[in-house]
Amino acid sequence: MKKKWSLLLLTFVIVLGTALAGCGNSDDAADTKVLNVWAMGDEAKQLPTLAKDFEKDTGIKVKIQAIPWANAHDKLLTAVASKSGPDVIQMGTTWMPEFVAADALEDLSSYVKKYPELDPKNFYDGSIKTTQFNDKKYAIPWYADTRVLFYRTDVLKKAGYDHAPKTWDELSEAAQKLAKRGDNMYGINIDGKEQSLGFMFGRQNGSPLFDNANKPVFNKKPFVDAVSYLNSFFQNGSAPKDDLGLDVSQTFGGDAMIPMFISGPWMVKSVKDTVQNIDGKWATAVLPAKDNNLSSLGGANLTIFKHSKNKGDAGKFLQYMSKPETQLKWMKLTNSLPTGKEAWNDPTLKDDQFYKVFGEQMNNAEPMPLIPEFEEIAQSYLKNFEQIYRGGADVQDQMNTFNDEVKTILKQ
């Protein structure tokens, strides 16, 4: 019986070892020419199209593993702990600090000399900030995501506005006027579940979010006033407090129940594809300004796993993905914005009345605070903001509570 169990245990260890190696760094003799790439979300479904072009150009076989965003973080942590993962990883920009701190990502500083496409000067400054830590470069910006204002030009014109609101005051005034068109009419949608919105408006009002000593300043006047401004849209009835359960074809089409909203590039295609009789009746615009009109900058990077033994081919893959023509192909496949400046000189972007606004806004866009704890901080903000706009809590008192919660999260 002992021999039987020993044999079973040995078989299990061999099978487990083989499985771990198979999902690892492609250093087995049978797998030396396979580049393993982990990609997240819907993008993973389109990446094989680009991978085939890369295979034709280089002869390097690529294996794409699609991972749902919901499972990606835990899967990456497991890979780090076992030192057995892919060669190339799609990394959410807000995850970068955590995995850099875990020593999970390759320093790409030396790769720039070999692959000039990876040079930081080729990319928007905001995107580069998500890749550099302690004077080292750990990723290349893959695609970007920023926010702009979508608005119905015809509806605003009837209300007396021949252009998009350019200031906070104009936005508030227009939203209130539009909300008075009748029952179940609003001026703008303020998404109470969008975690970056409060921080974005805080920055527009001059808040640094954290001071020079990295202490949170969410209870100081610039941020408190920004939250009060956002709350005002709910309190004066120009923004709905609840999710109406309607899609953009219902809220933005027809008489435009909600003629203004803030969103990302994916909504351009959504509006074009789903809203009927909309041509010539809508536009995008850079965000209205207070002290500035800073938008958020998100998206994803491509990194090389620190424990990969196929780093040469991984570098070639990053080089290929950084080329302007590749980034343009990616945009056509996924509606994701290019991070490379050169790609924005292409007529498909430069001459497009909707997308060119995103390129303009990216010159005034910053990533969310690049700290490992940001996701937890953002969730805390949403909880506290809901107490304000839905529960009627005092803004200053609730921001005092939020600021204390951030200190606890940061162990300050």
Q: What are the Cα distances from residue 96, in Å, to 101, 102, 371?
A: 8, 10, 8
d(CA 223, CA 210): 11
Is the backbone of residue 393 left (phi > 0), alpha (psi -120 to 50) or beta?
A: beta
For residue 295, the surrounding DSSP H or E stretch is: strand 295-304
Dihedral sign, Cα of residue 401, residue 402, residue 407, residue 408: positive
Res. 296 pLDDT band, cuts 50 70 90:
very high
Res. 335 pLDDT band, cuts 50 70 90:
confident
Q: What are the Cα distances from residue 39, in Å, to 61, 174, 346?
A: 16, 42, 26
d(CA 288, CA 204): 9
Are 34-146+297-367 and 148-295+370-410 in the same CATH fold?
yes
Phi, psi of 285 (to 5 degrees): -150, 155
Examine the pLDDT at 44 and tell me if it is beyond 90: no
Residue 228 tokens read as 């009060």
Q: Are 63 and 35 in contact (CB under 8 A)?
A: yes
Class of domain 34-146+297-367: alpha beta
DSSP for 145-195?
EE-EEEEEHHHHHHTT-SS---BHHHHHHHHHHHHTTSTT--S-B--TT-T
Half-sphere exposure of 264 (CA within 13 A, CB side): 18
Q: Is the pTM above the cut of 0.75?
A: yes
CA 388 to chain centre: 26
Q: Where are the domains of the chain?
A: 34-146+297-367, 148-295+370-410
d(CA 266, CA 335): 6
Examine the pLDDT at 168 and tell me if it is beyond 50: yes
Complete edge-to-edge strand list for the sheet that includes strand 260-263: 260-263, 148-152, 282-285
Res. 6 pLDDT band, cuts 50 70 90:
very low
241-271 burial, b at 16+ Cβ within 10 Å, e below that, comes to eeeeeeebeebbbeebbbbbbbbbbebbebb
Q: What is the pLDDT of residue 246?
A: 87
66 CB-contact burial (10 Å; exposed 0-12 / middle 13-18 / buried 19+): middle
Pairing of strands 148-152, 260-263: antiparallel
Res. 256 pLDDT band, cuts 50 70 90:
very high
Phi, psi of 299 (to 5 degrees): 115, -150
Res. 43 pLDDT band, cuts 50 70 90:
confident
d(CA 318, CA 321): 5
Res. 19 pLDDT band, cuts 50 70 90:
very low
Q: What is the pLDDT of residue 14?
A: 33
Residues 6+ apart with CB under 8 A from 254: none
Q: What is the pLDDT of residue 10?
A: 33
Instruction: Give residue-wise pLDDT tens across range 194-230.
Output: 989 999 999 999 999 999 999 999 999 999 999 999 9
Res. 41 pLDDT band, cuts 50 70 90:
confident
d(CA 90, CA 100): 14
Examine the pLDDT at 4 and tell me if it is beyond 50: no
Within 10 angstroms of residue 57's Cβ, the number of other Cβ atoms is 10
Q: What is the pLDDT of residue 75?
A: 92
Examine the pLDDT at 23 and tell me if it is beyond 60: no
Q: What is the pLDDT of residue 147?
A: 96
Res. 69 pLDDT band, cuts 50 70 90:
confident
Q: What is the pLDDT of residue 375?
A: 87
Examine the pLDDT at 172 and tell me if it is beyond 60: yes
Find the DSSP H helices in 34-142: 43-58, 69-82, 96-101, 111-114, 125-129
Instruction: Give residue-wise pLDDT tens across range 377-396.
Output: 999 999 999 999 999 999 99
**3-class state of residue 387 by DSSP:** helix
d(CA 263, CA 254): 20
Q: What is the pLDDT of residue 372?
A: 86
Q: What are the Cα distances from residue 311, in Å, to 87, 115, 276?
A: 7, 13, 49
Class of domain 148-295+370-410: alpha beta
